Amino acid sequence: MQFSLDTSLDKQARLAQESRDFAAAVPWGELVLKQIRTSQFELSHAHLLHQDKLYRPDKRHYWALRVKVPQHLQDGFGTAPELLVVTIPGEVQSRDLAAAEREIRQDPEQRLDPDLVIVVSDWPELASRLELFPAARGRCVAWQVERGGPDGYHLTALPEALGAALATHDIFNERDPVRGRHVIGRRDEIRHLTQQVLMGRSTGLFGLRKVGKTTLIRKVTDELDSLSVNTPAGFSAPHVEEGSPRALVFFADAQDVVEHSLEALLSLLHRTIEERLARQGLAPSLPRKGDLSRFDRLLEQALAATPLPLCLVIDEYDYLFEPEPIPGLSKLLRLLRAKAQATRRLAIVVAGRDPTLLQAPKLDGVPHPMLGWFQDLWIGPFDKGSADEALRKLGRRVGLEVGSTTLSTAMEWTLGHPLLHRQFGSALWRILRRGNRTADKLPSDPHLKKAQHVFCELDAVRTICQEIRALLSEKYPESYSLLRYLTEGLAGDASDIFAMHGGYGAGPSRVLRHFGLLGGTEQSPVLPGILRWYLKSESA
C-alpha cells in the first residue's frame, strides 16, 4: 500500500483512527505520537510498513508514519516538507529499510524527504545497528526508545534525535564513491557517457584518484541498468531507481583480478558477465574457463540474448598494465575492439589515471589494439556551480548555513576537487557541528579562518596532496617542475614559467590542467590553495 491523497474520506477521522490503531499495536506507539505532537511535527498519515506477512509475520507492529516538518526545521536542515518515520520493534532488518525505501519511491506527491528517514525502535544501540546497512548510513536517523520513565518507555524529543545525528555523523567525510541522488554536478559528463554507451562507443575516463571517476560511471550505469551491481535485497545500491534496463552493464574492477594472467582476467570478466545475465534471466551455459574462445562465445551469446546495448566497465584499468602488461592482454583487447566494431552494441568503458597505457604504439610486441579507439573523457574538478551546490546541499543536511565567503574560499583552496571540497565541509562540521546537538542553523562564514587551519591538518587532505606529489614527481617530472615553479613563483611571471616548460599548451601544462591542478589563464594561473600550501610547507 502507498500513501494516497485524501479526497473523499474525512481526513481528521481517518487520521484519528490510524493513530489509535498505531498506538494499540505498538507498545510505545502512544509515546511516539506524543513526542511528534510536542515537537511541533504533525502526523499526516500512518499505515503498516509491511503489506506482506512474508516480510514480517507480525507485521501489525511495523508502521510507516508520515510527518510534516515544522517550517524552522525545514529551513534549518533543508528537508522536504515531510519526513518518513518507521517504527520497528526489536531488531531492524534490511527488509524494513527496503520497505521504507519503497514508501519514499512510491510517494505520489513526492513531498517525503528522500534522504532522511527516522527509524524509531527499542533495539539497543539502534544508531550502531543502522550503521551496518550501507543504504542507511548518513540517511537514517536513530530515534531510540529507552526503557524507563512513567510509561515504561522513554523517548527524546524528535529535534533532539535529529540534533544528535548531526553532532555525531560527519556527512562530508565520505571517501568512497557515492551513488544515485548523492551524486552532485557532472551533468555534461553524465549525459555524454550515457550517449556513448547507448551508441556502443568506447570511452576512457581519466583523472586523479578519488576525483569521482567511479562515482560518475556508477551514476550512468545505475541509471542505464539498476541491476548492474549485484546487491542483496536491493539494499546496497541506495537511491537507484528500479526500472527496465536500457543497457546491460557488466562492471568489473581490475583490482579483483587474482593473478596477473590473461586466464585470471578472463575468468573475472566471464563471471561478471555471467552473473549479470543470470539476473536478467539469461543463463549462458559455458564452463567458466579462462579461455579466449569461450569468452568470445559468451559475448556472442550475450549479444544474441538481448537487443540491448552491452557495456563492459573495467575500473582501475591501470592494474592490467602494472607493473607489466598482463601477457596476452592484446589478444583480449583486440577481441573486444573487433566485437564492438562489428556489432556497435558493445561499449567498453575503462577508468584509470591517464590514457598513456592505451596510447603506447605496441602491446605484447604488436600494434596496440586500443590505439585511437577510446574517446578520452578527463574527469577534473567540479565547476564552481557544482562545487557550491555540494557544500550548500550537504551543509543544509547538517544545519550549516554555508555562506558565500565560505564558498569562494573553499573553491580557492580546492579548485573544485570533489573529495577535497567535501573535506573542506568536514572541517566546518568539525568546528561547528561535532558534539553540538542543537538543531539551530549555524553560519559558516565567521569561522572560516579556523576552518582553513583545520582543513590543512586533515589526514584525507594530506593524503591527497601527498599522492599528487608522488604521482607527478615519479610519472610526470616536467609537470611537477612546472607546478613547483608556479607554487614558488620562481623565474619571473607565469608566462616565463610556462615558456620554460614548453609553453602553456605543451605537455607539462596540459597534464596539470587535465588533472584539475591548474586553472585560470596563462597570465594568471590558479593552483588549488591546499596544494600550494602543502608544497610550500614541505619546502625547505
Partner 1 sequence: MADHENPYRWNNHVVAPDVELHRQPRLDETMRALQRGGGVVLLGGRGLGKSVFLRQLETHLRKKPGVAVFTLDPPVKRSLEGGLAELARLLEVPMTTEPAPPSARELIDQFLERRKDVQVVVLLFDELDQYTIQDKESPGTLGRVWFDHLESARKNTGRLGILAAGGLGVYLLRHVLSSSFLSRASWEKLLPFSEEELHRLAEPFARRGQPLEAEVLEAIRLASGGNPALATYALENLWDTTERTPAKVADIYSRFQVTHHEFVRSALRSLTAEELSGVPAKVLDLVRQAGGAVKRGPLLKTVQQAQGAKLDLKDAFDLLESAGLIRLEGALTDDPVHARLVASLLNLTLESHFQGETETGLIGDLEDLLSLMHSMGVDLLQASKGRELLPEAVYSAFLCMGLRSKGWQAEREAQHGAGRTDIKARRPGRDDLGLIEVKIWGRNDYDGIHHQLCSYWSSHVRVGAAVMLTTSDLPNWGSDYKATCLGGPGLVITEQAVCPPVRAHFIVESRTPDGVTARVHHLLLRIPKR
All 3 cell numbers of residue 293?
574462445
Whole-angstrom distance, CA of residue 211 vs CA of residue 219? 14
Whole-angstrom distance, CA of residue 212 vs CA of residue 206? 10
The residue within the footprint of partner 1, chosen from 75, 160, 291, 389 (CB under 8 A), is: 291
Q: Answer for the pair 483, 472: CB distance below 8 angstroms, yes or no.
A: yes
Helix, coil or strand: residue 476:
coil
Q: How many Å is the maximal CA-CA distance in the chain?
A: 81
For partner 1, the closer of residues 17 and 255 by Cβ is 255
* 77 in contact with partner 1 (CB under 8 A): no
* 91 in contact with partner 1 (CB under 8 A): yes
Q: Which stretch binds partner 1 (CB under 8 A): 227-235, 363-371, 398-406, 502-510?
A: 227-235
Least distance to partner 1, CB of residue 204, Å: 17
* 146 in contact with partner 1 (CB under 8 A): no
Q: Answer for the pair 140, 88: CB distance below 8 angstroms, yes or no.
A: no
Q: Look at strands 310-315 and 346-352 and give their pairing.
A: parallel
Q: Which stretch binds partner 1 (CB under 8 A): 259-267, 327-335, 363-371, 479-487?
A: 259-267
Q: Which stretch binds partner 1 (CB under 8 A): 369-377, 454-462, 501-509, 517-525?
A: 454-462
Looking at this protein, which amino acid is placed at residue 27? P
Least distance to partner 1, CB of residue 459, Å: 5
* 479 in contact with partner 1 (CB under 8 A): no
Cell numbers 546537538 correspond to what residue? 437
Binding track over 305-334 against partner 1, x by CB under 8 A? -----------x-xx--x------------
18-22: list long-range contacts, CB under 8 Å, 24+ apart: 18/45, 18/46, 18/47, 19/43, 19/46, 21/46, 22/46, 22/63, 22/65, 22/87
* 539 in contact with partner 1 (CB under 8 A): yes
Residue 95, C-beta contacts closer than 8 angstroms, at least 6 positions apart: 50, 55, 56, 233
Q: Which stretch binds partner 1 (CB under 8 A): 36-44, 148-156, 248-256, 382-390?
A: 248-256
Whole-angstrom distance, CA of residue 203 vs CA of residue 19? 55
Instruction: Identify the CA nearest to 341 among candidates 362, 372, 364, 315.
Output: 372
Least distance to partner 1, CB of residue 161, Å: 18
For 291, the enclosing helix (H) or strand (E) is none
* 450 in contact with partner 1 (CB under 8 A): no
Cell numbers 591517464 correspond to what residue? 354
Q: Which stretch binds partner 1 (CB under 8 A): 35-43, 65-73, 133-141, 385-393?
A: 133-141
Binding track over 148-187 against partner 1, x by CB under 8 A? ---------------------------xxx----------
Least distance to partner 1, CB of residue 336, Å: 19
The residue within the footprint of partner 1, chosen from 133, 172, 382, 429 (CB under 8 A), is: 133
Question: Rule CB under 8 A: which residues touch partner 1?
Answer: 91, 94, 125, 128-129, 131-134, 137, 175-177, 209-210, 214, 229-230, 232, 236, 253, 255-259, 261, 263-264, 266-268, 271, 288-291, 316, 318-319, 322, 353, 456-457, 459-460, 462-463, 466-467, 470-471, 474-475, 537-540
